[in-house]
Chains A and B, each alone.
Chain A
Amino acid sequence: MFASIVRRLIQALFVIVAMTIIVFIGVNVIGNPVDILINPDANQAERARLIAHLGLDKPLWDQYFVFVTGVLHGNFGNSFVYSRPALDVILERLPATIELAVSALVIAIVIGIPLGMYAGLRPRSPISRLIMTGSIFGFSLPTFWVGLMFILIFAVQLGWLPSNGRGQTAELFGVQWSFLTLDGLRHLLLPALNLALFKTSLVLRLTRAGVQEILPQEYIKFARAKGLREGRIVRVHVLKNLLIPVVTVIGVEFGSLIAFSVVTESIFAWPGVGKLIIDSIQMLDRPIVVAYLMMMVVLFVCLNFIVDVLYTLLDPRVRIGAEG
């Protein structure tokens, strides 16, 4: 079993190395950032100086080598736009994104699990049908359009909630957070709801499927036969068994929340990494784009590695399958 974990680890490292090459080469094919950064009146000598300054005159493999050496030291190069280390710019913006993603996850759980349980326990009630139809919309409505409609309804027409920025923030552990102030919370609500929409539907459907799988089990029948009250059966016997698969999926989905925050952050002008990456792609700010993509690759490889290892530890069938 130790061997299979080591093998997965080697595979994960291999994936990361392969992705550095793909990302680096890919991003180096796009247009020349010099054209954007330089003053249009600049002469040939100034141009050459800027190219040399950015290291763009070296051959591609040399640039890659410099890049990999830098990455290993946590240095992705200076952002062309901000003239500061790319990683610093990203890390500075990361708390805003994590705050948004965690809030969305909390909303998805708080709404998704109870509604999913209701729909699973009373599959024939009209309310359950309504919930399930609603979840189909949650799946198929494009997130960005729902976000726009949120702004239109709650910010423009009703004027209840602000539509952009983080609002007032307060400091905790040396980082600024929105959820600590009332104004910040008001700013957080719409983007978090928007980002949570898709995941809420997912959690809801998972929960419902889980409930329907658990209800016919022997231990539920036995609990009923013992004369336990329905509330206790649902809380203890159904909910506890339900949480294992749901929590696993939620863990895996956290990464994709961070990826999808790109859309929500752009709509609500939320100053996180998602907004940063879109701006950077448009400005051809290569170091930021590369650093962001590498960060996401590492995040996903790590998440998958953890899930793989947990499965191997928890489920003997996977273990045997991997060795056979």
Chain B
Amino acid sequence: MNPNLAESTDGAIVEPQPEAPAEEGRHLWRSFFASPGAVVGLALLVMIVLAAVFAPQIAPQNPYDLNQISIMDGRLPPGGESMMGTHFLLGTDGQGRGIFSGILFGLRTSLLVGVLSALAAASIGTLIGLFAAYVGGRTENFLMRLVDLQLSFPTILMALMMLAALGNGVTNVIIALIIAEWATYARTVRGTALVEREKEYIEAARCLKLPTWRILFFHLLPNCLAPVIVISTMQVARAISLEATLSFLGLGASVTQPSLGMLISNGYQYLLSGLYWISFFPGIALLLTIVSINLVGDRLRDILNPRNV
């Protein structure tokens, strides 16, 4: 995996390498593209991510620049035109912000929260799972009890508990999501690591008296990553959905950094008077994001086929 490793060990002893998966990688790609659903999902996902990244360039207006919006344009239906002649593809909300522009900017917050929280939860959970599997004994028991306990509470309850304590805001939502989700990774990684630990390459590494951290991170970890990748993809979707839910409940993102959930929540009050587009289109965007991530994740799971998912 890492060519520097072999050089850095002294003399003739060459560190045993886990099988290099270069050939395998190409094969994985090919089988990924064999599924039409996954290809559609991936294409959609790439488009969504690009749209979010280049939102300031694509969006016809910056919905959070007060100079560019006018309350006179409020509640225009999809395709409506403002007094200044601006065309609003998906209509406007109560403040005259274009829904299309709002969605592009909202995607940024939603994706940011989803990716950051999944990455952080994956790192923390993986470390704890690896550590537990490697040290064993009482520490392992204690950590796994903690994981069981955590998993026995629904995520939304954990998130509510955290947000009741921390208060609103994007950072707090990310923290709440990490705390609510790390346990899944810890359990899975421990399961995989327990199996891998008994294999010969680890034994070989031990015989070479390699330092523990080195065995953990360069030998054990790379071989436990497949399930982590699969769970992470799904978890990004779950985190985006949960963040949207929390924002809808008024506990998530702040007004200055609205996510898709917040946009949907803004439209809630207009829904009963039939102004559907304020909630509907951000909802569709949220839906497409979640479904495309799940399509990709589903295929990845089929290919990598980890035991514990």
Contacts and interface: CB of A to CB of B under 8 A. Distances in A.
B67 to A, nearest CB: 31
A259 B152 CA distance: 12
Given A259-B157, A296-B157, A30 B164 contact: yes
A188 interface: no
A142 B293 CA distance: 14
A281 B251 contact: yes
Interface in B141-176: 145, 149, 152-154, 156-157, 160-167
B15 to A, nearest CB: 36
Contact of B264 (A148, A260, A278, A297): A148
Contacts of B276: 152, 156
A160 interface: no
Given A140-B290, A148-B264, A148-B279, A304 B152 contact: yes
Interface in B250-271: 250-251, 261, 264, 267-268, 271
B287 interface: yes
B163 A281 contact: yes
Given A278-B250, A281-B164, A151 B272 contact: yes
Contacts of B250: 278, 282
Contact of A27 (B164, B280, B286, B294): B164
Contacts of A51: none
Interface string A241-265: 0000000000000011001101100
Contacts of A26: 161-162, 164-166
A154 interface: no
B66 to A, nearest CB: 26
A279 B53 CA distance: 35
Given A136-B294, A144-B245, A152 B251 contact: no
Contacts of A148: 264, 267-268, 271, 279, 283
Interface string A137-179: 0001111110011011001110000010000000000000000
A134 to B, nearest CB: 13
A185 interface: no
B290 A142 contact: yes
B273 to A, nearest CB: 8
Contacts of B38: none
A24 to B, nearest CB: 10
Contacts of B119: none
B237 interface: yes
Contacts of A277: 160
B291 interface: yes
Contacts of B163: 281
B241 interface: yes
Which of A27, A30, A141, A142 has the most chain B CB within a 10 Å cutoff? A142
Interface residues of A, number: 43
Contact of A263 (B156, B166, B272, B280): B156
A144 B156 CA distance: 13
A300 B160 contact: no
Given A29-B165, A143-B245, A144-B245, A260 B271 contact: no
Contacts of A233: none
A145 B165 contact: no
Given A255-B154, A259-B154, A293-B164, A140 B279 contact: no
Interface in A1-42: 11, 15, 23, 25-27, 29-31
Interface residues of B, number: 39
B287 A145 contact: yes
B85 interface: no
A260 B261 CA distance: 17
Contact of B283 (A149, A157, A163, A255): A149
Contact of B271 (A27, A31, A156): A156
A31 B283 CA distance: 32
A266 B249 contact: yes
Interface in B230-251: 237, 241, 244-245, 248-251
Contacts of A29: 165-166
B241 A256 contact: no
A293 B271 contact: no
B160 A142 contact: no
Given A140-B294, A142-B245, A23 B286 contact: no
Contact of A15 (B149, B162, B249): B149
Given A142-B241, A151-B272, A278-B251, A293 B264 contact: no
A297 B160 CA distance: 12
B11 interface: no
Contacts of A293: 160-161, 164
Interface in B102-142: none
Contacts of A96: none
Nearest to B247: A144
A11 B148 CA distance: 12
B211 interface: no
Contacts of B153: 259, 296-297, 300
Contacts of B251: 278, 281-282
Interface string A294-315: 0011001001100000000000
B274 interface: yes
6 contacts: A144-B244, A145-B279, A148-B271, A152-B280, A267-B268, A300-B153
What 6 A-B pairs have minimum CB-CB distances, sorted nearest first?
A26-B165, A256-B154, A145-B283, A259-B157, A259-B154, A142-B241
Interface of A: 11, 15, 23, 25-27, 29-31, 136, 140-145, 148-149, 151-152, 155-157, 163, 255-256, 259-260, 262-263, 266-267, 277-278, 281-282, 289, 293, 296-297, 300, 303-304
